[in-house]
A and B are shown apart, each in its own frame.
Chain A
Amino acid sequence: MKNKFFEPFFRHVFLMLVVLFTLIPIFFTFGTSLKYFRDIISGNLAFTPTLVNYQRLLDPSQSNFLRLTFNSLVVAAGTMVVVLTISSLAAYSLSRFRWHKLWSGLLLGIILFIHMLPPVTFLGPFYLIARSLNIYDTVLAVIMGHIILNLPTTTWILLDFFAEIPKELEEAAMVDGASRFHAFTQVLLPMIQPGIAAAGALAFIFSWRDFLFSLSLTSTPRGMTIPVGISSFVQEYSIRYGEMAAGAFFAMIPALLMVAFAQRYIVKGLTLGALKG
């Protein structure tokens, strides 16, 4: 006799409930963002969709959201470039050369440890650094925080990719007279392009979604990013539901696009250190 619960029908019903539970807040928010205020408070299911909330949000004369979007993009792109440069070089070095276990272990240990520390631990020192470098309330300060946020994930992903490429390829190039530098830039980098794309995408998303660093290292729209803008909007105008929902949905767009691509690597990056040794 088979357990009835595990019959395919009940199994899929249960899983569909999970899917529903996950999607309802998103649909509800999206729905709210398309409603006039009167439709939100009437509670009717039928309503005339409108883009007025998005228009208000993105109108520079009414809100600074456009400026914050620009900041968010600069921060995410800047973080991505810096982190990819550092971690692709480091992952290359750690995976291609013989390092004493003490050194590689120490480096990877530190990287894993900072990934596990709550970001709030960095706030005080980072605030002082930002102040003394005169970059407080600029995108540079936020990028500084986001480097630490992302370096562990990107390094880990790229280590995996380098490990999968046979050493012989690089050696063959060097026998043919290429320098190590050339072998790295001409042979290896093109081969790990998918890894760089995946790591870069994750770094972008993680930077885009961060709240705490931007909150504590900026104070005006000069350096602020979208999440801080949403949070202060929510606290200031607690009943402007339509714009609130529009802001939240707007901030989700990169993530929703991302879910469609590079799924496998996202899983690897999110579960860093758990799936492999």
Chain B
Amino acid sequence: MKPTSASSPSSQVPLTSRLGNFIDRTFQYWTIAPLIITLLFLVAYPSVQLLRMSVSEVDIVKGKTVWEFVGLKHLETALQDPVVPVALKNTLIFVIAVVLIETALSLLISILVSRSKHLVGLYRTVMLIPLLIPPIAIGTMWRLMYDYNYGFINQVLDLIGIAGPTWTANPKLALPSIILVDLWHWTSFMFLIILAGLESLPLELNEAARVDGASEDQIFRFITLPLLRPTLITAVMLRTIFAFKVFDEIFLLTGGGPGTATEVVSLYIYKVFSGQFRLGYASFLALGLALIISVFVIFYRRLGQRAHA
């Protein structure tokens, strides 16, 4: 391609077209500017504010924000706060459980779908639905499903003569009930990633192995699975990171209860922020959560780079 030399510098060129030339030459910067301004205003500035808030007591008096520097006081509060370890423990149990179960389920489903010739469109379409509908609607649906008297689950159990429990109000069953809702919501996410990974694998290898007399199981274990490894790692890491965001469904189904049985970090931060209106302490906890996520993201990027190298 020839260089597009539009630059013929001369003083006779009228001002408007010189301005036009200037804009053209710097178009690269004009077009990126809105993004940078947005990031400065909605990411950089809030990040600085978050840091500031996490070492301050912040209050709003007569519409004005009042700051008081308190240093590491919120760290002391967090270390003595009995809910913090419970919320961390519940979050950890939740994240590990959903990631493990969803990985196994989605791997199985995507392999079965990838081996099918018929109905693939139906499976994909249906699996997409849970990812798009509002999580609050998902929570509401499952509230109806779990209802002690008139819920679908207990009505079905009733038909076969079993008295159903109070699902979300039972301290032992509340967290598993939440986990089941999450499986309903998020298994599709990993399914879509893994299916895309499976569909992009070269089929020639399978053919060659089949010609050499390998069984389907052997092909899966020694060809498909190793080739799928990078995709699997990506899916697991992404799902882990996103699992920490869980909020809406728990808010609606249990509100963290009964007691603190389903209290998770995001929900507790929200309660400190909104219910107790302790902006400083909530920001300190939010900063802690952001740091935990950062570790996972760095780890994820490292793995990603190695997988693509």
A258 to chain B, nearest CB (A): 6
Question: What chain A residues lie within 8 Å of B24 (beta carbons)?
Answer: 179-181
Question: What chain B residues lie within 8 Å of A107 (beta carbons)?
Answer: 32, 35-36, 39
Of B4, B130, B192, the contact of A171 (CB 8 Å cutoff): B4
Let me know if A267 and B196 touch, CB within 8 A: yes
Task: Among B31, B127, B241, find the residue whose CB has the most chain A CB atoms closer than 10 A.
Answer: B31
**Binary per-residue interface labels of chain A (263-277) against chain B in the complex, 1 for a CB within 8 Å, 0 otherwise:** 100110011011101
Question: What chain B residues lie within 8 Å of A208 (beta carbons)?
Answer: 134
Let me know if A89 and B216 touch, CB within 8 A: no
Interface residues of B in 30-62 (CB under 8 A from A): 30-32, 34-36, 38-39, 42-43, 45-47, 49-50, 53, 58, 60
A15 and B113 in contact (CB under 8 A), knowing A118-B289, A122-B46?
yes
A14 and B217 in contact (CB under 8 A), knowing A90-B35, A128-B58, A209-B133?
no
Let me know if A22 and B126 touch, CB within 8 A: yes
* Complex Cα spacing A136 to B136, Å: 22
Task: Among A8, A110, A116, find the residue whose CB has the most chain B CB atoms closer than 10 A.
Answer: A116
B226 to chain A, nearest CB (A): 19
Let me know if A19 and B123 touch, CB within 8 A: yes
Let me know if A147 and B244 touch, CB within 8 A: no
A73 to chain B, nearest CB (A): 14
Let me know if A28 and B141 touch, CB within 8 A: yes
Question: What chain B residues lie within 8 Å of A120 (beta carbons)?
Answer: 245, 247, 266, 269-270, 273, 286, 289
Let me know if B65 and A131 touch, CB within 8 A: yes
B159 to chain A, nearest CB (A): 10
- The secondary-structure label for the interface of chain A is helix
Let me know if A89 and B189 touch, CB within 8 A: no
**Binary per-residue interface labels of chain A (120-146) against chain B in the complex, 1 for a CB within 8 Å, 0 otherwise:** 111111111101100000000000100
- The secondary-structure label for the interface of chain B is helix
Q: List the count of A-B residue pairs having beta carbons below 8 Å apart.
A: 290
> Interface-forming stretch among A59-67, A190-198, A223-231?
A223-231
Question: What chain B residues lie within 8 Å of A256 (beta carbons)?
Answer: 129, 132-133
- Is residue A251 within 8 Å, beta carbon to beta carbon, of the partner chain? yes
**Nearest residue in B to A83 (C-beta to C-beta)?**
B38
**Binary per-residue interface labels of chain A (215-234) against chain B in the complex, 1 for a CB within 8 Å, 0 otherwise:** 11000000000111011001
Let me know if A110 and B150 touch, CB within 8 A: no
Let me know if A124 and B116 touch, CB within 8 A: no
- Is residue A102 within 8 Å, beta carbon to beta carbon, of the partner chain? no
A8 and B116 in contact (CB under 8 A), knowing A90-B32, A255-B132?
yes
Of A116, A148, A151, the contact of B297 (CB 8 Å cutoff): A116
- Is residue A40 within 8 Å, beta carbon to beta carbon, of the partner chain? yes
* Complex Cα spacing A110 to B143, Å: 37
Let me know if B132 and A266 touch, CB within 8 A: yes
Task: Among B27, B241, B283, find the residue whose CB has the most chain A CB atoms closer than 10 A.
Answer: B27
Of A113, A132, A180, A209, the contact of B132 (CB 8 Å cutoff): A209
Of A87, A89, A124, the contact of B286 (CB 8 Å cutoff): A124
Let me know if B137 and A123 touch, CB within 8 A: no
Known: A29-B140, A90-B31, A180-B27. 15 other contacts (CB 8 A): A11-B116, A15-B109, A21-B184, A32-B144, A85-B34, A90-B32, A118-B290, A120-B289, A123-B282, A174-B6, A209-B137, A211-B251, A226-B134, A249-B137, A259-B129
